[in-house]
Structure 1
Amino acid sequence: MLDACAQLLDEIGYDALTTTRIAERAGVAIGSVYQFFPDKRAIAQALTQRNLEVFVSRVGQRFITEEYAGWWAAVDAIIDEYVHMLRHVPGFRSLRFGDVVDVHLLDPAADNNAVISGRLRGLLLSEFGLADSDELDRAVVVAVEAADAVLKLAFRRDPEGDAEIVAEAKKLVRGYLSSQLS
């Protein structure tokens, strides 16, 4: 059902998405959809959670298998994974991390980018031994918000993501974090 939802998001968008369409695409009875999900928002939420886990897992795997000169190279890898998902993961470009549906889709107490920031902050702390602080927390939140805005611009300009704008997002985030983490 989540795969059917993702495919439909790419084809028709969230506003036209219905549980009936999801059931038809998944080849299941509508009752089966409602057995697991009360509405299309709940399905989108489950898909967003799955995408978040895929993203964090892919970034974590890169951290394990690749050597980075420093945290700045890891930031590039994080942005590269996000761009890869926007280009290749069904439904991700339409849904992203749920901001299209609800800025609190991942967690009712925190906005979606704050959830992403927390997960990325944890990866950076565990991999690069940065000092844990309120300043680091704030810097990662601002960096995620800035990257999100600039990457949205890149994909508005080009369906595959304007490579020059993606490069500018990396420079912006690296420059900002460098000024905050020194």
Structure 2
Amino acid sequence: MTENVPPLPVGVLREPQQQRSREKVARILAATARLLQERDYEEVGTKLIAAEAEVSVGVLYRFFPDKQAIVSTLTVRWLDEFTAITEQVLTGPLPPTPSELGAQLVEAHARFRREQPGFHRLWFYGPPLPALREYDENTDRQLAAAIRTALVDRYGYPDTPAFALRTELVVASAGRLLNTAFRDHPEGDPAILAEIRLMLDRWLFEREAAIG
């Protein structure tokens, strides 16, 4: 499910090979997320991140040239988590109906947005990260491909270019609506989350429309 991943965007740290380096990077990213849980993006600087991570500023700069590199790497890790969340749902026992599967996927992604420290402030109020756009779009394509495979293999939906296109459009739309649900509601607007599930039922899961 994680094939055809594009190269990491410029400024995003590749996972270090050494265990000690991986641990330090993980501490820096986790510290950044914790700080963003309590502070606005502009208040969080590299010195504060280093202190929170219990590393020297020199160690931080050995991995990240600036704060933008840290938040870019953190954002890419979250995009990868979107893929992991979807895979976890799809590789577990699938429910009897696609509608129930859709509800599970929506809830899993909503739960991540509720529980991930720092997500709300960085995702919605952090700086624009145009270099990550291709990676973000590719993540949507990966999610759509994984969901389409489950619908075809386990629920008998048609394996056609038209259904593939529909799945990509629905996944992209659901992602934008999730953003709408959480932008002004850190817990997620229940009415919008319900509309996302309805969209899945009426646009993607409705059998006659899918076959037609």
TM bin, normalised by shorter chain, reads 0.7 to 0.9
Q: RCO greater where, 1 or 2, for CA within 8 Å and sep 6 or more? A: 2
Aligned to 2:45: 18
Equivalences for residues 97-176 of structure 1 within 5 A: 101-105=128-132, 110=134, 112=136, 114-129=137-152, 131=159, 133=161, 135-176=162-203
Whether 2:92 is the aligned partner of 1:65: answer yes
User: Percent same amino acid at aligned positions?
Assistant: 28
Q: Note closer, same or farther for the CA distance 1:57–1:150 as it changes in structure 2 (3 Å cut).
A: closer
Bigger shift: residues 141-150 or 20-29: 141-150
User: Judging changes above 3 Å, is the alpha-carbon distance between structure 1 residues 153 and 54 closer, same or farther for their aligned structure 2 residues?
Assistant: closer
Measure, in 1, the Cα distance between the counterparts of 2:68 and 2:46: 9
> Partner amino acid for 1:175?
R
* Matched AA of 2:141: G
Instruction: Check 1:156–1:56 CA distance in 2 against 1; reply closer, same or farther (3 A cut).
Output: closer
**Aligned residue number for residue 38 of structure 1:** 65
Are the aligned partners of 1:146 and 1:173 in contact in 2 as well (CA < 8 Å)? no
Structure 1 residue runs without a partner (length 5+): none
Larger Rg: 2
When the two chains are superposed, the root-mean-square deviation of aligned CA atoms in Å is 2.8
Q: Which amino acid aligns with 1:176?
A: W
Deviation at 1:136, TM superposition (A): 4.1
Q: Which moved more, 1:67-76 or 1:91-100?
A: 91-100
CA distance in 1, matches of 2:107, 2:81: 14
| Count of residue pairs the alignment pairs up | 177
Compute the TM-score of the two structures, normalised by the length of structure 1. Answer: 0.80
> What's the TM-score, normalizing by structure 2?
0.70
| Corresponding residue number in structure 1 for 2:18 | none
Higher deviation after alignment, 45-54 or 27-36: 45-54
